[in-house]
């Protein structure tokens, strides 16, 4: 059954890009902490497997120097000096390990969520102090899943070492003949093996948890049909404002057309329904251009302006309809209409010539 919002509407629609982007900017992304845990364990295991013996040697060397210094008179100045030296040596030994863990943790987060930085999750949320909501969260499915994950992890951490140590029991008597250093190396290898196999077992849990978190996040982001409609309206804008903008744009276009009518060579009419004003300059134009067109009231206005400015108005129903339907304002006429328009222009020029010559 689809999840419902507080209004009782079912969330059946996939989240929009806007909702996903907003949630991401607020730090709401699907992320599994188990991935970070496993990545850290594997990084630590690999680091100690490669560099563990060197770390132990450095610690032994540091202890030997410390014990040799303790054979001297231990004054306050000497104690401070020894303390500083111990701290510095420990920092030198563990700093590479800490840096690797930090880098692995960052990479694990980037792998899951991509590059994301936001301070929104750090802002205080007072609804967390709501006792009733807190009780509901304790009884939620998320908390139940967390309990199951904790039980599985405890089982893994308990069972894996038991199996490995049980297999090594037969070898334990042999360590009696080993030196201290060999015993430490042997115990270290067992610990690394335990941590490695625990990490392998937890990888399965991390993969399942990652899939679960992805699915849960998508369910939380689901939207109702009304939410999708509301978001679409917000992105598109208020219909009243859009209508007002279209009205203003139409007025601007209409004014520009009417300003261009006096510059036209001829106005072709239907004669009542449509009117199309054509302009042609042999020096600058390859073909006549439609500078204004309109139907009914706009057509009437175009004809009035044309007559006021001595622009010829010629009736040609087929041509007027074709120009009105196929040619936009500002476009040149198509080749198919060029012959008909040329005949109209020739007629207009001949009339102008006769008027100019006094015939």
Tokens 């970070």 label which residue?
Answer: 36
The SS3 call for residue 148 is helix
Confidence of residue 159 (pLDDT cuts 50, 70, 90): confident
Confidence of residue 1 (pLDDT cuts 50, 70, 90): very low
DSSP state of 27: T
pLDDT tens sequence across 7-41: 556 777 777 777 777 777 766 777 777 788 788 87
Query: What would the mean pLDDT of 248-271 be, rounded to a whole number?
Result: 83
Comparing 47-51, 90-94, 235-239, which segment has the lowest mean pLDDT?
235-239
Q: Domain map of the chain by residue range?
A: 17-234, 254-357
For the segment(s) 254-357, the CATH number from 3.40.50.1390, 3.90.1150.10, 4.10.520.10, 3.40.1690.10 is: 3.40.1690.10
280 touches 268 (CB < 8 A) = no
Report which of residues 211 and 66 the model is more confident about: 211
- When the pLDDT of each residue in the chain is averaged and rounded to a whole number, the result is 77
Report which of residues 280 and 63 the model is more confident about: 280
For 76, residues 6+ apart whose C-beta sits below 8 A from its C-beta are none
The pTM of the full predicted model, rounded to 2 decimals, is 0.43
Measured distance CA(312)–CA(147) in Å, rounded: 89
pLDDT tens sequence across 41-54: 788 878 877 887 77
pLDDT tens sequence across 294-324: 888 888 888 888 888 888 888 888 888 888 8
């Amino acid at each position: 059954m689809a999840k419902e919002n507080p209004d009782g509407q079912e969330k059946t629609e996939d989240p929009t890009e806007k909702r996903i982007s907003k949630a991401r900017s607020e730090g709401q992304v699907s992320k599994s902490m188990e991935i970070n845990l496993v990545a850290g364990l594997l990084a630590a295991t690999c680091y100690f497997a490669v560099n563990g013996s060197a770390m132990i040697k450095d610690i032994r060397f540091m202890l030997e120097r410390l014990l040799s210094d303790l054979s001297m008179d231990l004054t306050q100045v000497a104690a401070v000096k020894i303390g500083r030296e111990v701290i510095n040596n420990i920092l030198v030994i563990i700093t590479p390990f800490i840096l690797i863990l930090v880098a692995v943790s960052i990479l694990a987060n980037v792998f899951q969520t991509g590059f994301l930085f936001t301070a929104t999750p750090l802002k205080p949320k007072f609804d967390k102090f709501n006792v009733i909501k807190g009780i509901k969260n304790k009884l939620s499915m998320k908390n139940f899943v967390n309990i199951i994950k904790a039980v599985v992890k405890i089982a893994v951490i308990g069972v894996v070492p038991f199996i490995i140590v049980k297999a090594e029991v037969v070898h334990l008597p042999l360590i009696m003949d080993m030196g201290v250093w060999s015993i430490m190396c042997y115990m270290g290898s067992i610990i690394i093996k335990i941590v490695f196999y625990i990490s392998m077992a937890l990888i399965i849990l991390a993969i399942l948890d990652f899939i679960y978190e992805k699915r849960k996040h998508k369910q939380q982001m689901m939207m109702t049909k009304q939410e999708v409609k509301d978001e679409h309206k917000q992105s598109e804008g208020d219909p009243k404002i859009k209508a007002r903008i279209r009205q203003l744009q139409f007025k601007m276009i209409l004014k520009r057309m009417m300003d261009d009518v006096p510059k036209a060579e001829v106005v072709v009419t239907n004669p009542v329904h449509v009117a199309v004003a054509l302009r042609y300059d042999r020096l600058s134009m390859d073909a006549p251009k439609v500078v204004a067109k309109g139907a009914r009231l706009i057509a009437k206005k175009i004809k009035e302006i044309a007559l006021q400015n001595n622009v010829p108005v010629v009736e040609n129903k087929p041509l007027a309809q074709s120009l009105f339907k196929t040619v936009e304002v500002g476009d040149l006429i198509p080749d198919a209409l060029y012959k008909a328009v040329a005949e109209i222009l020739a007629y207009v020029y001949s009339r102008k010539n006769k008027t100019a010559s006094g015939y």
